[in-house]
């Protein structure tokens, strides 16, 4: 599991729809009032982009990308 790859949420774009929280099978996110929190970045799978593809607002990028 990755410590050098995890999602970063652009809080200005995020509408807190919850899609990423429901999508990720590794419990990287937890819901919060403003926007999801990346609470377990170490659980993120290196080079997975699933939550970014699922996000309707294109609000997710990755630490470790490029």
Give every CB contact of residue 57 below 8 A, 6+ residues apart in sequence.
Answer: 13, 14, 15, 17
Based on the shown chain and the rule CB under 6 A, indicate whether residue 64 belongs to the binding site for ligand SF4: no
Please report how close the Cβ of residue 35 comes to ligand SF4 at its closest, in angstroms.
6
Based on the shown chain and the rule CB under 6 A, indicate whether residue 61 belongs to the binding site for ligand SF4: no
First to last CA, the chain: 18
Binding residues for ligand SF4, rule: CB under 6 A, are 7, 9, 14-20, 23-24, 26, 28, 35-36, 44-45, 48-51, 55, 57, 59-60
């Amino acid at each position: 599991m990755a410590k050098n790859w995890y999602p970063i949420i652009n809080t200005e774009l995020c509408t807190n729809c919850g899609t990423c929280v429901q999508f990720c099978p590794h419990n990287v996110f937890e819901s919060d009032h403003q926007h999801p929190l990346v609470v377990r970045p170490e659980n993120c799978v290196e080079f997975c982009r699933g939550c970014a593809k699922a996000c309707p607002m294109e609000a997710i990028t990755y630490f470790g990308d490029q």
